[in-house]
Chains A and B, each alone.
Chain A
Amino acid sequence: MLAALIIVFREVIEAGLIVGIVAAVTRGVAGHGWWIGGGVLSGVAGSCVVAAFIGVVAGAFAGSGAELFNAAILGIAVVMLAWHNVWMARHGRQMAADLKQKGQAVASGSASLFALALVIAVAVLREGSEVVLFLFGIAVSDGGTGRALLVGSLAGLALGALVSALTYYGLVKIPARYLFAVTSAMIAFLAAGMAAQAIAFLEQGGVIEFLGTSVWNSSAILSDKSIPGRVLHTLIGYSDRPSQMQLITYIATLAAIFALMRVMAPVAHHRPKAA
Chain B
Amino acid sequence: MPIKRSFSRLTLMIAAALVAVYLVSTPAVRAEDAATIVITLKNDAFSPAEVKVTAGKPFVLKFVNQDAAAAEIEAKDFKIEKVVTGNGEIIARVAPQTPGRYLFVNEYKEETVKGFVVVE
Chains A and B bind each other: yes
The answer to whether A134 and B108 have CB atoms under 8 Å apart is yes
Known contacts A66-B90, A111-B3, A206-B30; A133 and B83 CB within 8 A of each other? yes
Task: Give chain A's interface secondary structure class.
Answer: helix
Contact B86 A140 (CB under 8 A): yes
- Given A71-B24, A87-B6, A207-B24, A134 and B93 contact (CB-CB distance below 8 Å): no
- In the complex, A139→B1 CA distance in Å? 52
- B112 → chain A closest CB, angstroms: 10
A218 to B31, CA, bound (A): 28
A196 at interface (Cβ–Cβ under 8 A)? no
User: Across the interface, do B88 and A55 meet the contact criterion of CB distance under 8 Å?
Assistant: yes
Q: How far is the CA of A108 from the CA of B30 in the complex (A)?
A: 47
Contact B10 A137 (CB under 8 A): no
**What is the bound-complex CA distance between A108 and B3, given in angstroms?**
6
Write out, one digit per residue, whether chain A residues 200-216 have a CB within 8 A of any chain B CB (1) or not (0): 10111111010010000
CB proximity of B40 to chain A, nearest CB, Å: 17
Contact with B along A84-117 (1 / 0, CB 8 A): 0001000100000000000000011011101100
The reply to whether B83 and A63 contact each other, CB–CB distance below 8 Å, is no
A225 to B105, CA, bound (A): 13
Task: Find residues 71-106 in chain B having any chain A CB closer than 8 Å to their own CB.
Answer: 71-72, 76, 79-80, 82-86, 88, 90-93, 95
With known contacts A55-B85, A71-B24, A212-B95, A61–B70 Cβ distance under 8 A: no
Interface range, A side: 35 or more
User: For chain A residues 32-83, which have a beta carbon within 8 Å of chain B?
Assistant: 54-55, 58, 61-64, 66, 68, 71-72, 75-76, 79, 83
Nearest-neighbour CB distance to chain B for A80, whole angstroms, equals 8
Q: How distant is B93 from chain A, measured CB to nearest CB, in Å?
A: 5
In contact, B68 and A66 (Cβ under 8 angstroms): no
Q: Are B29 and A140 in contact (CB under 8 A)?
A: no
Q: How far apart sit A62 and B32, CA to CA, in the bound complex (Å)?
A: 9
Indicate whether B37 reaches chain A with its CB closer than 8 angstroms.
no
- Which residue of A63, A72, A87, A203 has the most chain B CB atoms within 10 A of its CB atom? A63
Q: Please indicate the chain A residues that have their CB under 8 angstroms from the CB of B29 in the complex.
A: 61-64, 205-207
Residues of A within 8 A of B10 (CB): 83, 111, 114-115
**Cβ-closest chain B residue relative to A200:** B79
Query: By the criterion CB–CB under 8 Å, are B72 and A54 in contact?
Result: no
> What 0/1 readout, one digit per residue, does chain A (214-232) give for beta carbons within 8 Å of chain B?
0000010001010000000
Collect the chain A residues with CB atoms within 8 Å of residue B68's CB: 137, 140-141
- Say whether B88 contacts A58, CB under 8 Å: yes
B79 surroundings in chain A (CB, below 8 A):
200, 203-204, 241
CB-CB contacts of B1-32 with A at 8 A, as 1s and 0s?
01100110110011011001100110101111
For the complex formed, measure the closest distance between the CB of B7 and the CB atoms of chain A, giving whole angstroms: 6
B35 at the interface (CB under 8 A from A): no
Chain A residue numbers with a CB within 8 Å of B6 are 87, 111-112
- Say yes or no for B55: interface residue by CB 8 A criterion: no
Do the beta carbons of B86 and A207 come within 8 Å of each other? no
Q: Can you sample 26 A-B contacts with CB below 8 Å?
A: A54-B88, A58-B83, A58-B85, A61-B29, A63-B91, A66-B83, A68-B21, A68-B24, A72-B25, A75-B20, A76-B14, A79-B17, A83-B10, A111-B10, A114-B10, A115-B10, A134-B72, A136-B69, A137-B69, A137-B86, A137-B108, A138-B69, A203-B79, A207-B25, A219-B76, A223-B76
Chain A contact residues, CB within 8 Å of chain B: 3, 7, 54-55, 58, 61-64, 66, 68, 71-72, 75-76, 79, 83, 87, 91, 107-108, 110-112, 114-115, 129-130, 133-134, 136-138, 140-141, 200, 202-207, 209, 212, 219, 223, 225, 241
